[in-house]
Amino acid sequence: MVADLIRTKRAVRQFEPRPVPDDVIRQILDSGRRAQSSKNTQPWHFIVVREREALKRLSGCGAYAGHLAGAAFAVVLVSEKNDGSNDFDLGQTAAYLQLAAWEQGVGSCIATLGEADKARAVLGVPAERGLRLALSFGYPAQPPAPPKRGGRRSLEDVVRWEHW
Ligand SMILES: Cc1cc2nc3c(=O)[nH]c(=O)nc-3n(C[C@H](O)[C@H](O)[C@H](O)COP(=O)(O)O)c2cc1C
């Protein structure tokens, strides 16, 4: 069930060395491309990175991007525009990619590429496209941690009914 996947999905930053088969990668990507977007513009491009050297170089493109180095593969999200206007849409596709992966037992974690220009140089992404986020994917090295008690704000804290 989608609700179970959402409840049990955690950020996974350590991965088994074994590769994720291409057909599984394709299923994950196919779910990502089905995400909703503003005016159905689908303003995303996915760069799939499996080469270890490139993954290592990308892991040096953000303060907390180290987990990319050990991923079985990464998906670098490139947006059509480089003005932040596609950010919500990219968040949607990221969530779909991650949930579809989790359904297959593949863990994932986002990496913010704070040094985007370095990442552009690694991948050859032109300046007019947005580049800020990558996702690590792979089979979790440890059994998934159970949902953390207090790991999310409570419903009562988050929800207001009818008015602020
Ligand atoms: C926009 C965004 C940027 C993130 N950037 C990073 C990052 O640079 N490095 C990292 O390790 N995790 C990153 N994360 C993952 C979050 O730290 C993680 O989703 C959050 O701590 C919840 O983890 P949990 O689901 O295991 O509780 C990012 C998540 C989002 C949504």
pLDDT tens by residue, 49-87: 999 999 999 999 999 999 999 999 999 999 999 999 999
Q: What is the side-by-side order of every strand in the sheet holding 107-112?
A: 44-49, 73-79, 130-138, 107-112
90-133 pLDDT, tens digit per residue, is 999 999 999 999 999 999 999 999 999 999 999 999 999 999 99
Indicate if the pLDDT at residue 150 is higher than 80: no
Closest CA to 76 of 15, 121, 124, 136: 136
CA of 162 to the centre of ligand 1 (A): 31
Calculate how far, in angstroms, residue 135's C-alpha sits from the geometric centre of ligand 1. 10
Residue 91 φ then ψ, to 5°: -65, -35
For range 1-17, the mean pLDDT: 96
- Ligand 1 neighbourhood includes 62 CB (under 6 angstroms): yes
Cα 98 to ligand 1 centre (Å): 12
User: What is the per-residue DSSP string for 122-146?
Assistant: HHT--TTSEEEEEEEEE-BSSPPPP
In a mutational test of the pocket of ligand 1, which residue from 110, 135, 142, 153 has the highest number of ligand atoms less than 8 Å from its CB? 110
Please give the pLDDT value at position 139. Answer: 98
pTM above threshold 0.85: yes
Inform me whether the pLDDT recorded for 152 exceeds 80. Answer: yes
- Nearest Cα residue to 65 out of 151, 153, 131: 131
Residue 148 reports pLDDT greater than 80: no
Task: Compute CA 37 distance to the chain's CA centroid, rounded to the nearest angstrom.
Answer: 16
